[in-house]
Amino acid sequence: MTLRATECLALARSAKEGLHIDEKGLYLRVDPVRASWVFRYTFAGKRRVMGLGGFPLVSLADARVAASAARSAVASGIDPQAQKREAKERAIEQADAAETASHKETITFAKAAGAFVAGHRAGWRNKRHADQVVASLEAYALPAIGSKPVANVDTDDVLAILQPIWSVKPETASRVRQRIEAVMAYSAAHGWRERGLNPAIWKGHLDAILPSPAKLRRVRHHPALAWRRVPAFMARLHLMSGLAPLALRFTVMTAARSGEVRGMTWREIDLELCTWTVPPERIKAGREHRVPLSAAAVAILQDRLRVATDEREGRRPDRSDIVWPGAAGTLSDMTLAAVIKRMNKSDTAGDADAPFWSDVLGVPAVPHGFRSSFRDWAADNSYSTDIAEAALAHVVGDATTRAYQRGDLLERRRAMMEAWAVFIVGDREK
C-alpha cells in the first residue's frame, strides 16, 4: 500500500503515533512532536534505519526519490547511511576550504610582508637591518605585487620584479629575491597560501631561469694600503691635527670598523684594563666584541680624554658621551675618508693621476681597507687564522667549533695588537 500526499498531511496533523508504510522500506514516522521520513533496510545482515528528513519540508515525492537512491546503494553493496555521512563530511570540508580560500584572498602580499617584518624584527641584529628589509620590499616588490593576494603570487610575478634588476643590480636583486622567498614561506606557514613550491626559491627553481648571482656580481674589495706601507702612512697621519686624523689613527691601530670607532662612548672604554668593549648592537656579527688596546691606542684615548675634560671646564665626559663627536652627533665615515683624500691631494708624487696612498691598482685607500692591511700583516707574520679573524670580530668556524671555543682569545689577541701597534707607530705615540 502506498500513501498519497493528502494522507501524509492528515497523518501528521492527527499526531497518530507510529510508522506508516509507503513502499519498499519507506515510512512516515509520526510522534507527538513531529513527522519525518525514515528508510528501513538490511545491510550486512543487520536491520538499519536511516532518516530522510522531516515532513512536510521533505515532500512525499522527495522522500521516494531519496529512498530509491538508498535502495540502489544497498543493491550495489554500499551502506546508504555511511554514504550519507561521507557526503556530509565532504560538504563540510568544501565549505571550510571555501572559507579558507576567501580568507586567503584578503591577505595581500603587502599585509604578509608587514606581518613577516613585525614577526622577525626582534630577532634581527639591529634596526638598520630591519629598515633595509622594508626598504627593499617597498622599492621593488610592493609596487608590483603589494595589492595582490599572497595566495596568488606566482613565478611570473617574481620574475617580473627580478629580471629588470638581475644583471644591473645583482646584489640588490639577490637580496630582494631572498626576502620575497621569506615572505612566501612565512605566508605558507600561516596558511595564507598553499604549501608547496615557493615561487621565489632559488635552488631547483629560479636557478634554472636566471643566471647565477655569483657570476654576475662583481665583488669590490675596499681599497687597502699594502701592509708594509702602513707605518709610513701613520707617520704622515701623525703630522695632521684635528679630531678626524686622531680617530683615523685609532681606527688603524685597533683594526676596527670605522662605524664602531665613530660610535664609541666612554662607557665602552676601560683604561685600567686597556680594553674597549663594543656592544652587540654596534657589531656586524651581532655579539659583544672586546678589543684589547695597545699602549699607543690607550695613549690616544688618554689624550682625547684630557681634551674633552678641558672642553667641559675640568669636568670629565659623561659615560654616555661620544668619544669622537661630530656635527651630526658623531664623526661621519666621509669625514675619515676625507682625511686620506687630503693626504693624497698634498702627497701625490709627480703624477697627479696616481694617488700616493692607494692600493696596488692605484685606487685611493679608504678607512675600512686598513682592516685588510692588518689581516695581511697578521698572515705574513704567522698569526693564526682564529686569532686574526677574532681581532676583526669575524665569526670563526662552524657552529660545532664555536660551541667548544667559547672564549674570545682576548689575551692572545692583546699580544698581537701590541705587536701591530709597535709595527705601525713604533714608540712615537706611547
Query: What is the reported pTM?
Result: 0.53
Can you read off the three cell numbers belonging to residue 67? 529512498
Asked if residue 171 has pLDDT above 90, the reply is: no
pLDDT value, residue 12: 67
Task: Give the 3-state secondary structure of residue 405.
Answer: coil
Asked if residue 313 has pLDDT above 70, the reply is: yes
- Residues 138-152 have pLDDT tens digits of 989 999 999 999 999
Question: Residue 29 and residue 42: Cα distance in Å, rounded?
Answer: 18
pLDDT value, residue 402: 44
Where along the chain do its domains lie?
A: 5-101, 109-216, 227-425
Question: Residue 316 and residue 388: Cα distance in Å, rounded?
Answer: 35
Q: Which residues are paired to 47 by β-bridges?
A: 42
Closest by CA to 384, choosing from 422, 418, 416, is: 416
Crossing angle between the packed helical segments 410-425 and 230-238, to the nearest 10 degrees: 70
pLDDT value, residue 4: 74
Straight-line distance from the first to the last Cα atom of the chain, in angstroms, rounded to the nearest whole number: 120
Of residues 426 and 233, more confidently modeled: 233
- Residues 321-346 have pLDDT tens digits of 999 998 878 898 899 999 999 998 88
Sheet containing 46-55, strands listed edge to edge, beginning at the edge strand earlier in sequence: 18-23, 26-30, 35-43, 46-55
The H or E element spanning position 229 is none
Task: Give the 3-state secondary structure of residue 51.
Answer: strand
Crossing angle between the packed helical segments 243-254 and 333-347, to the nearest 10 degrees: 100
- The superfamily (CATH) of domain 5-101 is Integrase, DNA-binding domain (3.30.160.390)
Of residues 128 and 167, more confidently modeled: 167
| Strand pairing category for 46-55 and 269-270 | unpaired
For domain 109-216, give the fold: DNA polymerase; domain 1 (1.10.150)
Tell me the CATH number for domain 227-425. 1.10.443.10
Question: Residue 12 and residue 76: Cα distance in Å, rounded?
Answer: 33
Question: Residue 402 and residue 390: Cα distance in Å, rounded?
Answer: 12
Residues in the chain: 430
Question: Residue 312 and residue 44: Cα distance in Å, rounded?
Answer: 100
Question: Residue 92 and residue 344: Cα distance in Å, rounded?
Answer: 77
Asked if residue 187 has pLDDT above 90, the reply is: yes
pLDDT value, residue 395: 66
Question: Residue 385 and residue 394: Cα distance in Å, rounded?
Answer: 11
Contact by Cβ (8 Å): 402, 395: yes
The C-alpha cell 568544501 sits at 94
Crossing angle between the packed helical segments 230-238 and 369-380, to the nearest 10 degrees: 130
- Residues 27-48 have pLDDT tens digits of 988 887 788 899 999 998 899 9
Asked if residue 219 has pLDDT above 70, the reply is: no
pLDDT value, residue 168: 81
Closest by CA to 375, choosing from 249, 233, 271, 221, is: 221
Task: Give the 3-state secondary structure of residue 265.
Answer: strand
